[in-house]
Structure 1
Amino acid sequence: MNNNNKKAENVNHATFCTLTGEVSIGEQTARLRPKTYLLAQYLSERSGQVISKEELLENVWEGSFVEEQAVFQSINEIRKAFSPTEVIKTYPRKGYEWVVPSQPEMVETHHQETLGGIQRKHAIVICVTALVGLLLLALLIGWPGDKTTQNIALDDTVAPSASTHQALLVLPFDTRQLAQSEQWVSIGAVQAIVDGFTSTTDLTLFQVSDVLDILARVPSNTPEPQALFDVSAATHIIEATLSGVPGEYHVAFTVYEHQSRQQGVIHGQFIEDVLSRLVETIGRELAASPTAKRVLFANQFNNALMYNAVQLLASNDLPSAISFLQSAITHAPNNLAAYFLLAKTYQQTGQYAQALEIAQQGMGVVVTNNEDKVYQSRLNYIMAVSLFALGDGQAKLQLEQAIQLSSENEDWLYTAYAKAMLAQYWIKAKRFDDALPLLQASLAYQQMLGCPMGVAQGYLDFVDYYVAKEDVEMANSSYNLALQVVKEKGLTQVEPLLQAQQTKLRTLSKGQ
């Protein structure tokens, strides 16, 4: 037997059983959710082609109201089911390619209504037996994708699973051993690492402002990784200490997962060297794609003004932080991160007119890279929220633009925020049919990201929805779901929101 034949024998093939939803690749067999199965089948029938997410939505979900994350979720489920075998290859911003050969006699399209395409008697027995079981189950509890009731529980086409999505949280570096002039690297390194990865739907990268929000949820100044896992969507946490002098720098780092950790040390002549190598190391750990470029600080938080501003934000000294951020913009007029943090801080302090003005100024800055695009879409969201708070009639249009921009930039956190805010707009207008799908989609994004704060807020948004509809039972049910998340994760920050919603529920109950 020649080498080519040996190689062919070792190639895994994919087989499909339409009636059970089972896919087999080599010795691995997995039963997939209905839509995930159809997606896998659709891709496999077009093996060698790059299929866009738009084509998948149109042909697999066939006009159903779903969000793009339904595609990403199904792709992740397939990859996880057959790991470590590479089944699907991603082409950023283009689509997906099925890379496993399929056995033609075992593949049936979802338009077939018989078992005529399956030649093996054993496969027929398995599929028919499973079909009988599925039909009996469907008669008892109802088929799982056909529910039309307006319930908070999302059906198969929208509900994501947090376990298949990776999220990287990089903590501020410990730079106490560096010279005073290099202290800013504590924050700059975080953004440098985030900027060191290409945009990908399989990995959430927390921006510096997100990191500050997460750290604020934990009382301790030096929180344990488990405490951060509990209050965030992170699946991986990077903790690092940077030391040394020019010509000889060292970074000692730890990569934390929920049940494990890995440690290492990297050396280099320049700070940029050690950070570039750290990005490569993290990329291998997460099976993510770092950029080919070397880490540079030219467009990062490269001055003491931004460092001090971020430190003040972390300590909740917002008035002082505003002063430093204003100075940072004066010093670097193209620093979109400074515009965003300043506008967000104004918004947090209720100064919506100032937030709107700064966000508008930031939107005028020319976008030069992916990091800038993310900040620009977030500035768009700040503008929308400010207009909504000020009662401006342009709020709806701005919110729609915020949804579009954040989705294009694959910033799913702010896509969720913008959809929830637009839902509030429709709730206020008593347009409940317009509000409901937005609330469902927003909650689905938060569930995909696995952020407890976001999920709790999503349920509280449903309280507003059902209070406006005067549905006491569903409003209380939504409140209890939020309360359960808050108690399980110890989210003390959400307690004021719970109290506010409780007041609304009491008022609603008294009025009926």
Structure 2
Amino acid sequence: MAKDNATPVYFDDATGTLVFANERIELRPKTYAVAKFLAAHPQQVCSKEAIMNAAWENSIVEDQAVFQSINEIRRKFAPTAVIQTYPRRGYAWLIPTSSQHAIQSQSQTQAAIKRSTPQWLLLSVLVAVLMGSVAIGWFSFVGNGEKPSRLQEGPRFKATEHQALMVLPTDTAALTNDDRGLGFGAMQTVIERLPNESNRTIFQASDVLDIMDRKPVAEPADYFAVSGATQIISSELNGVPGEYSLLFTVWHSDGTQRHGVLHGGTIEQVINDYTEALMLQLFGELTRPHRGASSLLTSTLTHRAMTLLAQGETQTAIPYLESAVLEHPEEPMQRFLLARTHLHLGQAESALPHIEAGLTALDALPPQPLRGRLLYLKGVALMGNNLPAASHFLGAAQEAAEAQQDWLYHAYAKAMQGQVLIQQQRFSDAEPLLAESLRYQQLLNCPLGIAQGHLDYFDFYFAQGNTEKAQEQLQLAEQMVLERNLVIVKQLIADYKNKLSKS
């Protein structure tokens, strides 16, 4: 019989169980009391305090007990929605109750057997049941002592541990102001896509926010004490349109952690991959074919490095990226991250070997945006001592990025080609490239790219001695930095101001 919200539930106080859609549901005594209390007030919002007073009268318990009981009820009734959460207010029972026992066929069959069975057979069955009960009681009693050895051979079956997963909102503090509200949407997307099965409960978004409101914590693992979760998933998103990174951690109640790092051109892409990665890591199953994954150690090392980079600890991040490359040398993404970090520190000679290794690794893979990005890094690395070669690889990067519709690095490559031409004092050739690059950044609505575009124009005018127009471009860049709170560009703005003041 299909379960739906119109099917009534029967509370059997004699056995402490429920009957729903011809199936008997067993609950722990306190959970049964919670369910009965809520069902006695259908469609009414009952506060946690009222639930605790009803089910745990004269006892002092934590809110966690209510969350555990609510999750147990939801798991037992899945996929039927039986309880609605109202954040910061309480819970409401959604399905009707019945005063009649729902399993009629079973009771009728038992009655028929009783009427037709000879008394001596009933007596023999009763004796067998009693003897079995005595035997079970003895073995249970002895099993709680020090012996016997025959019971220490191990259980005949292993119960599956119930999972209770709590997905926290994605931390978007590193994004620009316009995108910071996406963290709750990302959480809801992941919650909706993770499978909620009989041995698994996914905390609903309203429950997560309720738990978070109750107690501020130092780190995600602190929520174990107040939620009843067995796994807690935290994540943080950083980057710009066209180049996002999502770092996530699965915290287990036994104190262990597992990390992951994902990259993508859009927020939607990394959130989709986030769900996929969680499916693989938590359940060993996927909703769609997986595109490949790094080893656990590589993911952990990269996660640590990306965290340090986000904190501005660039030099400290390098050993972790180097270790990730050693652990997974054929992975071009690790090479790209390490090369880009070296270039950020002005270490072009250290970056070049990883760029070449990354390009070689890509030769065996289908075309992907990473090729254009590595070619771009190679062009940037060569700008210090070989401008013609730098121009060649930046042009190749632009073509590769365009072929893969990687418009962010298409714009980056154009801007850097313009910088090469500025150094060569070919200003009439540089200006169209700078203009087109800035236009692409504006179309991408990338605040960081737009600010950098204005700083490129500062270099263009400053190299020609036009300090007035250079200052105008610097002001436009600073305005973007202030409007979008681009913390990582503030020091660069200060350097440009210093350069202007010395001219």
TM-score in terms of structure 2 length: 0.46
Q: Which entry has the higher C-alpha Rg, 1 or 2?
A: 2
